Amino acid sequence: MGFSDEDLVSTAQPHVNTLVVTVHIGGFDVHRVMVDWGSGVEIMYPNLFRGLELKEKDLESYGALLMGFDRKMVILKGKIKLPVQVDKEEVLVDFIVVDAYSPYIAILAWPWLHAFEVVSSTLHQNVKFPTEGRIEEI
């Protein structure tokens, strides 16, 4: 599983874009989800939390500290486990719900990437993963 020049066909080169995908979270198609190999936790921002009609009572406590991209501490609301589905594959993901602004609606990090056996390429703006004996892309 890998990438070639053929995978560059739909991308404007050169670019410095973040890898952003659409996935199915909690039963809904969710756009503007950032894929970040550098993050160790999946993040959910307030717009998605409200959009999924989740309530504060749905959250478990989460005692760790989290630093944002701007190197400031982020206010954590709690943790929630939700299904994330791509194609026919689905895994339960622990999202840390934060009270912070982001141009993204969520971040999928290496725990999800490992669970799906994802290979991603920011250059190709593509994510590939094995499923049912074939390679799927998002």
Which domains are seen in the chain, by residue range? 25-137 (2.40.70.10)
φ/ψ region of 14 (left if φ > 0, alpha if ψ in -120 to 50, else beta) reads beta
Distances in Å between the Cα of 49 and the Cα atoms of 3, 56, 100, 126 are 34, 9, 12, 26
The per-residue pLDDT for 131 is 79
Identify whether the C-beta of residue 47 lies closer than 8 Å to the C-beta of residue 54. Answer: no
Identify whether the C-beta of residue 83 lies closer than 8 Å to the C-beta of residue 96. Answer: no
In whole angstroms, give the CA distance from residue 48 to residue 110: 20
- Tell me the pLDDT band of 3, cut-offs 50, 70 and 90: low
Of 15 and 26, the structure prediction assigns the larger pLDDT to 26
- What is the DSSP code (8-state) at residue 67? B
CA Rg value for the chain:
15
- Name which of 77-81, 122-126, 132-136 the model is least confident about: 122-126
Give the predicted TM-score (pTM) of the model.
0.79
Give the model confidence (pLDDT) of 30-86 as tens digits: 999 998 877 889 999 999 999 999 999 999 998 787 777 677 778 789 999 999 988
The per-residue pLDDT for 108 is 92
The per-residue pLDDT for 59 is 95
